Amino acid sequence: MKEKLLYLLISCLVLATLIFGLSRAFGNHYNLEYVEYTPESGDTLNKVVYELNKDYDGYYDVRDLVHHAKEKNDIADATIVAGESYKMPVLIHVEDKELADEK
């Protein structure tokens, strides 16, 4: 009985941490959007995702964004091929997006 209660408590803590982390990464001030990107020789998925989001001033875990890229592009591992086109996740500040839409 104690083991089940402990398991439930740990599961709730993990879930709360995940929700808190995602809300900070994808909160109301930023939108997750995708841009077309064609990698060059030597590019890695982690490097590309990091470079596309390095100006984001909030907390995010590059591994979460890499996961989004893998799902969006239906790739099983982090291997990307130079010259092929991929949709890469980019965190966009809402105010920046509103300004861009006005132009």
Helical (H) or strand (E) element with 74: none
Q: Which tens digits make up the pLDDT trace of 68-97?
A: 999 999 999 888 999 999 999 999 877 654
Q: Which of 11-15, 23-27, 31-35 has the lowest mean pLDDT?
A: 23-27
Q: Which tens digits make up the pLDDT trace of 28-53?
A: 477 899 999 999 999 999 999 999 99
Domain boundaries, given as residue ranges, for the chain: 2-102
Question: Which contacts qualify for 92-98: CB closer than 8 Å, 24 or more apart?
Answer: 92/30, 92/31, 92/32, 92/33, 93/29, 93/30, 93/56, 94/28, 94/29, 94/30, 94/31, 97/31, 97/33
Q: How far apart are CA 103 and CA 100, in angstroms?
A: 5
Would you call 62 helix, strand, or coil by DSSP?
helix
